[in-house]
Structure 1
Amino acid sequence: MKYVLTTTSANLGNMVSMAAASLLLPFLPLLPGQILLNNFLSDIPAVGLAGDSVDPELVDRPRRRDKRLIGRFRVAFGLLSSCFDILTFGVLRKWFHAGPELFRTGWFIESLLTELVVALVVRMRRPFYRSRPGRLLLVSTGAIIALTFAVPFLPHASALGFVRPPLCCWWR
């Protein structure tokens, strides 16, 4: 259930953001390889959800899948994710004057990081600070967060459409 909630909300948010960006930008907001890489990297920690710790109140009795909860959750968090994405679009274009490559790199990083953080926060009903994630989920999420920042600096990253963000642009 944790995987379904996290993945469906992230996918809806990404689709809405991609559609909005495609209407507003004179270039593709992400290239196909970047979309696939984003989905692949975000699914690595999602495997850890299978062995994640579960809050006791969620296993005290059998539960049925609640399709309405899934739908409401997907729409609410998907649209919230899109709001962060659109805010990122504005920052990248207005403050950093981002061309296609810098825009794609910035959005890739923001999109993947928010998906990973949301997966940690929404994985339980208690406040996130009161329910520790399982070791595999926590370690794999940390590793993918580090890799996310490293992707633009990896050899051949430019072949996927990434650009190394110039340090000077962060102070504009």
Structure 2
Amino acid sequence: MLLFGPISSIFDFATFALMLMVFNAVPGEFRAGWFIESIATQTLIIFAIRTRKVPFLRSRPSAGLTVASLGVVAVGVALPLSPIGPWLGFDPLPAPFFLALLGMVIVYLTMVEFAKQWFFSQAKQQAPTTPMSIPRRRATHHISRRASRFSTAGKLPDPVKKTAVM
């Protein structure tokens, strides 16, 4: 997090600069812009940090993760534009903001990917060359010990037989 945290902060500051200097945002627009940028970057980083490989190219996420993540981003974008937005202190944003946001998210995820590649290239982060093997007895003992509280010593009742209640 000492590596990825500052990258996130850089893009928060870039959003502040964009909202204040380019769009001359009033407080409600500022809150909405920062909220949407934060939701997008914080959610989409899941794809970068979930694997050592390049997301979508060398390591495909599950359909559920993709749909859920994009759904969260869509709700984050829609919330300030919805009737609930003013209650939360959000004002509608100008359309060019969303183009700038798309560019910022792409640059953010690219920077995170480069940082991740650098991080894993460091000697301390290299995977061991020979996989550690666990002796078979120890592995099965561990599994048996963990599963013991869910096991019964006797025979389980037959679910097909029904007893008559009188």
TM-score by structure 2 length?
0.54
* Structure richer in helix, relative to its length: 1
Q: Structure 2 matches for 1:122-161, cutoff 5 A?
A: 122-128=49-55, 129-161=57-89
Match of 1:113 among 26, 34, 40: 40
1:163 aligns with 2:91: yes
Please, which runs of 5 or more residues in structure 1 have no aligned partner?
1-73
Q: Is the 8 A contact 1:153 1:164 kept in 2?
A: yes
Structure with the larger RCO, 1 or 2 (CA within 8 Å, 6+ apart) = 1
Deviation at 1:168, TM superposition (A): 7.8
Equivalent AA in structure 2 for residue 122 of structure 1: I
Q: Structure 2 matches for 1:8-157, cutoff 5 A?
A: 74-128=1-55, 129-157=57-85
**SS across alignment from 2:61:** coil
Please, which runs of 5 or more residues in structure 2 have no aligned partner?
100-166
In structure 2, do the counterparts of structure 1 residues 89 and 153 end up closer, same or farther at CA, with 3 Å as the change threshold? same
| CA RMSD across the alignment | 2.0
The CA distance in 1 between the partners of 2:47 and 2:19, in whole Å, is 26
Give the structure 1 partner of residue 145 of structure 2.
none
Deviation at 1:135, TM superposition (A): 2.0
Give the structure 1 partner of residue 162 of structure 2.
none
Deviation at 1:166, TM superposition (A): 3.8
After the TM superposition, list the runs of 4 or more consecutive aligned residues in structure 1 that deviate by more than 2 angstroms.
166-171
Deviation at 1:75, TM superposition (A): 1.4
Can you list the C-alpha shifts for 1:38-91, whole angstroms capped at 9, x where unaligned? xxxxxxxxxxxxxxxxxxxxxxxxxxxxxxxxxxxx111111000011011111
- For these two proteins, the number of residue pairs brought into alignment is 98
TM-score by structure 1 length?
0.53
Identity, in percent, stands at 37
Deviation at 1:156, TM superposition (A): 2.2
In structure 2, do the counterparts of structure 1 residues 131 and 164 end up closer, same or farther at CA, with 3 Å as the change threshold? same
Which structure has the larger Rg over C-alpha atoms? 2
Deviation at 1:167, TM superposition (A): 4.2
Deviation at 1:103, TM superposition (A): 0.5
The CA distance in 2 between the partners of 1:91 and 1:131, in whole Å, is 33
The CA distance in 2 between the partners of 1:85 and 1:140, in whole Å, is 23
Deviation at 1:131, TM superposition (A): 0.5
Deviation at 1:143, TM superposition (A): 1.1
Can you list the C-alpha shifts for 1:117-170, whole angstroms capped at 9, x where unaligned? 211111101111210112221110111121121111212211111111244888
